[in-house]
Amino acid sequence: MLHQIAPALWEVDAPLNVLGMALGHRMTVVRLPNGSLWIHSPVAHSEALVDELLELGPLAHIVAPNCMHDTYLSEWFAACPGLQFHAAQGFSECRPDLKFSDFLGDTPPEAWTEVFAQHLVRGAPRLNEIVFLHRASRTLILTDLCFNLGPEMPMLSRVLLSLNGCYCRFAPSRLLRSTIKDRAAFRTSIDHLLKWDFDRIVLSHGRTIDSGAKLALREAFNFL
């Protein structure tokens, strides 16, 4: 299940269908300096997956990076009550049943302050996505800000993604654009991300951009 992208950085790809679209779902895993694991947007929980993760190190942190990524969280809460669960601000309004350790903004918790920079994207309060920069590998970790899906999708998914404005290209979906309520604030957040030092983008839905990622991000949001 696990595929290593860079030192201390792994991904897990799993199937996921949303509104008839085969979007897939990528979980990102980082080993922190103390050897414990940081897990971004977890896929479905299974004992096999946990066993594979434990070969890398003890599980410590589960991150719900925006207010829409909650599909599998209940499973992880039930199976791993001893972990720290972190969520984007506003998540508790959507899922008051889940009791998080804290809510994330621009300041990384002490546990990973040396590993990541992070930023709460302003202007889209329905989403409130937290973007992470894994400094050591120069990797930006996105969730729903952009998709990067193409012809490997089933036909119906291709049609629906085309209607959503992000088929066969790295781009924000029309659904994402509809969540933007303050374009100036959103643009300021994108500009903030573009000041970071990254060359790779790992995203939750679609192919990783292995190089030239900063230009891709800039072009994706030229509409602002």
Average pLDDT, the chain: 93
At 211 the pLDDT is: 96
Nearest partner of 206 among 163, 157, 150, judged by Cα:
150
Segment 131-190, tens digit of pLDDT: 999 999 999 999 999 999 887 877 777 787 787 777 778 999 998 999 999 999 999 999
The C-alpha angle 59, 61, 66, rounded to 5 degrees, equals 140
Place of tokens 């590993």: 115
Confidence of residue 204 (pLDDT cuts 50, 70, 90): very high
Domain of residue 10 covers: 2-220
Question: The domain that contains 214 carries what CATH number?
Answer: 3.60.15.10
Confidence of residue 102 (pLDDT cuts 50, 70, 90): very high
CB 145 within 8 A of CB 173: no
At 8 the pLDDT is: 98
Q: Which residues share a beta bridge with 2?
A: 12
Helix (H, G, I), strand (E, B) or coil at 141: strand
Confidence of residue 16 (pLDDT cuts 50, 70, 90): confident
Structurally, the chain folds into a number of domains equal to 1
Say which amino acid occupies 206.
G
Q: What percent of the chain has pLDDT over 90?
A: 79
At 120 the pLDDT is: 98
CA distance 167 to 148: 7
Place of tokens 């509809």: 178
CA distance 116 to 199: 15
The CA–CA distances, whole Å, from 30 to 62, 196, 213 equal 11, 19, 20
